[in-house]
Chains A and B, each alone.
Chain A
C-alpha cells in the first residue's frame, strides 16, 4: 500500500484570477489510494478553484499538483484528464449530448476507444450507477437525481484514478441522496468529495479537510472535526438543526 504513490498530492498551491482576486493561498494535502475524503468549507473558500486545478483546467499560479505520481502540466494533460474524473455541481453543465449513451461515451471516445469496446464501456458505467435502462433517453428528460447519476457515469466510464465530486448531494431529494451514497460506497475508487453537506460527508468519508480562506485549516477524522464546535464556528460551518455527529457511528 505504501509502495503506490498517493492518488492525489497538492503542495503549496496558490492562485489568483486574472482580475486580481486571489482564491488560494498555499494549499497542501495528500489523498492516499482508495481513501474517501471530504473537502469542507464555506461558500467562497476556494473549493471550486481548487477542484479546477486538479485536472489542470486552471494553471499558472504557484505550487504543484500530482495525480498518482504524475505532475499536472501541459505535457501530461490528456493522461491527467483521464485519471481525474470531475463530477460538476450542475449535471446540466456536464450532460451536453443528445442521448445518455452518447454522453457517457464522450470521454472514452475522446480517448480513442471505439466500436464494441466503447459500447461495453458505456454499459459498464451505466450499470454501476443503475441507469442502464435509460441508455437511449435524452438526458434533459430525466429527473435531477437521475441526471446526477448519469453525470457520475460519464466520469466512471473513463475509469479514473480519483473521482472528484463537487457538491454531489445538492438539490437531491432524500431517496436520491441515499441511492447516490450507496453507489459511491460501492465503487472501488479514490474519492474527493467537495461539499458543505456535513452529515453526508460524515456518512461517506472517514477523513475530512477544511478549506477556509484559501488554505487547509484542518485535516483529520470527519467525526472529530465535526465535533469540534470552536473549529466549526471559526470556519462558518454549521451542522443541520438537531444533528449530533457524536451520536452517529463513524462513516465508511
Chain B
C-alpha cells in the first residue's frame, strides 16, 4: 500500500515490518481482512468468558498454539513478543496485595481473594489477546493489513492516515539517523541528562524535516491523481473457503466460551 516503499525501513525490512515473519504457510496465505476479523472475534470471545472457567483459557491457548503451528511461527518468537505485556504483569502481581474484599493467607502473605481473581483475569485474557495480535502481525504484511482494514470498511480517511503514518515512520527514523550523524560528526554525544535539552530541541527540527521530505512524496502521489484513497491495483477477494478457515478459530473459541458459561 505504498507505505513500504522508500529506501529505509524501520517498519519494513524489504516490504515487511519488524514483527512480520516471512513465510508461505496457509495462515500467511489467507486474505488479510479474514485474519483481522478472526483475530478480533477471537479476542471478543475470550474476554466474554467467565474468569472462573479456568480450563477454557487453557483450551484457548491450545487453539492459538495450533494456529502458531500452522503458521510455522516458532514458540520462542511468540514468547519474546509477549514481553510487551510486562507492565501489566507487574500490575497483576500487585493486585492481590492492594485489592479490597475477603483475604486469604498464602505462604504467610495476606492476599485479597478478589485481587487474586482479578490478577488471573487480567493475566489470562490479556495474554491471550496479546498472543492473538502477535500472531496476526507475524503472518500479515503491513500493506496487507492496511488493505484488510480498507476492505473491512474502515473509513478511508483513517486508512489514509494510517498509511501516511507508516510511511513517515520510515522517514522519521531515517531523518533521526541523519541528524544524529550530523550531531556526532560535530563532536556532540548524548551522554546524560544535561544533553536532553539538545535532543528535545531536535524534536521540532526533526518534525519539519520529516514533514518536508514526506511532503515531496505526497506531491508526487497527488501529481499522479491520488485523491485520498489508494487505487486498487490487485483485487483480492476472499473465497468462502478462506473465510471459513479463518473463522474456524473464533468459532471453536465460541463453543468453548459457551461451555464455560454452562459448566
Direct contact of A and B (CB under 8 A): yes
Q: Considering only CB atoms, which chain B residue lies closest to A95 in the complex?
A: B5
Interface 9-residue window, one of B73-81, B221-229, B238-246: B221-229
Instruction: Tell me if B232 and A94 are in contact (CB < 8 A).
Output: no
The answer to whether B233 touches A96, judged by C-beta atoms less than 8 angstroms apart, is: no
Q: Which residues on the A side are within 8 Å of B254 (C-beta)?
A: none
Interface residues of A in 56-70 (CB under 8 A from B): 57
Which residues of A have CB within 8 Å of B221? Answer: 96, 106
For residue B216, which residues in chain A have a CB less than 8 angstroms away from its CB? 88, 90, 93
Q: In the complex, which of the residues B143, B219, B232 has the most CB atoms of chain A within 10 Å of its own CB atom?
A: B219
Within 8 A of A (CB), among B133-167: 143, 167
A177 within 8 Å of B (CB atoms) = no
Q: Is the beta-carbon distance between A154 and B7 smaller than 8 angstroms?
A: no
B2 touches A96 (CB 8 A): yes
**Does residue A97 face the partner (Cβ distance < 8 Å to B)?**
yes
Task: Please give me the residue from chain A that is nearest to B215 by CB atom.
Answer: A93
Q: Whole-angstrom distance between the alpha carbons of A97 and B217 in the complex?
A: 11
Chain B min CB distance to A166 (Å):
11
In the complex, chain B residues whose CB is within 8 Å of the CB of A93: 216-217, 219-220
Q: Name the distance in Å between B210's Cβ and chain A's nearest Cβ.
A: 14
Do B231 and A92 touch across chains, with their CB atoms under 8 A apart?
A: no
Q: Counting CB contacts under 8 A, is B58 at the interface?
A: no
Q: Which of B2, B14, B222 contacts A97 (CB 8 A)?
A: B2
A78→B223 CA distance, assembly (Å): 9
A98: interface (CB < 8 Å): yes
Nearest-neighbour CB distance to chain A for B165, whole angstroms, equals 14
* A103→B4 CA distance, assembly (Å): 12
In the complex, whether A50 has a CB less than 8 A from a CB of chain B is no
Pairwise interchain contact B225-A158, C-beta atoms closer than 8 A: yes
A131-166 Cβ-contact flags toward B at 8 Å (1 or 0): 000000011100000000000001100100000000
- Given A97-B5, A98-B143, verify A82-B225 contact (CB < 8 Å): yes
Q: Check: B15 CB closer than 8 A to any chain A CB.
A: yes
Does A120 count as interface, using CB distance less than 8 angstroms? Answer: no
Chain A contacts of B235 at CB under 8 A? 114
Q: Is A102 an interface residue (CB 8 A)?
A: yes
Interface membership of B6, Cβ < 8 A: yes
Contact of A57 among B6, B7, B223, B233 (CB under 8 A): B223
Q: How many residues of A contact B (CB 8 A)?
A: 34
B223 touches A81 (CB 8 A): yes
For B220, give its contact among A78, A96, A105, A109 (CB under 8 Å).
A96
Question: Smallest CB–CB gap between A107 and chain B, Å?
Answer: 4
Tell me how far the C-beta of B219 lies from the nearest C-beta in chain A, rounded to whole angstroms.
Answer: 6
A98, B225: Cβ atoms closer than 8 Å: no
Q: Is the CB of A110 within 8 A of B219?
A: no
Residue A187, interface by CB 8 Å: no
Flag if A57 contacts B225 (CB, 8 Å).
no
When chains A and B are docked, how far (Å) is the Cα of A102 from the Cα of B216? 19
Contacts of A102 in B (CB 8 A): 233
Known contacts A96-B217, A97-B2: does B222 contact A138 (CB below 8 Å)?
no
Q: Return chain B residues, CB-CB under 8 Å to A90.
A: 216
In the complex, the chain B residue whose C-beta lies closest to that of A77 is: B227
Say yes or no: is A231 at the interface (Cβ < 8 Å to chain B).
Answer: no
* Contact mask for chain B residues 187-227; partner A; CB cutoff 8 A; 1 contact, 0 none: 00000000000000000000000000000110111111111
Note all chain B residues with C-beta closer than 8 A to A202: none
Closest to A164 in B: B223
Pairwise interchain contact A109-B232, C-beta atoms closer than 8 A: yes
- Look across to chain A and name the residue whose beta carbon is closest to the beta carbon of B7: A140
**Cβ distance A23 to chain B, nearest Cβ, rounded Å:** 16
Residues of A with C-beta under 8 A to B222 = 57, 81
B233 with A78: CB separation less than 8 A:
no
Q: Is the CB of B7 within 8 A of A158?
A: no
Do B15 and A107 have beta carbons less than 8 Å apart? no
Does B220 lie within 8 Å of A110, measured CB to CB? no
Bound-state CA distance A109–B224 (Å) is: 10
Quick one: which of B216, B217, B220, B222 has the most chain A CB within 10 A? Answer: B220
Say whether B224 contacts A78, CB under 8 Å: no
Q: Give chain A nearest CB distance to B143 CB in angstroms.
A: 7
| Bound-state Cα–Cα, A154 to B60, Å | 49
Given contacts A90-B216, A109-B233, contact A98 B4 (CB under 8 A): yes
A96 touching B5, Cβ below 8 Å: yes
Q: Please state if B233 and A81 are interface contacts (CB–CB under 8 Å).
A: no
Interface CB pairs A-B, < 8 A, 9: A78-B225, A88-B216, A90-B216, A93-B219, A96-B5, A98-B5, A103-B5, A140-B5, A158-B224
Known: A57-B223, A96-B167. 15 other contacts (CB 8 A): A55-B223, A57-B219, A81-B225, A84-B223, A86-B223, A88-B216, A92-B6, A92-B7, A96-B6, A106-B2, A106-B224, A106-B233, A110-B225, A114-B232, A140-B5
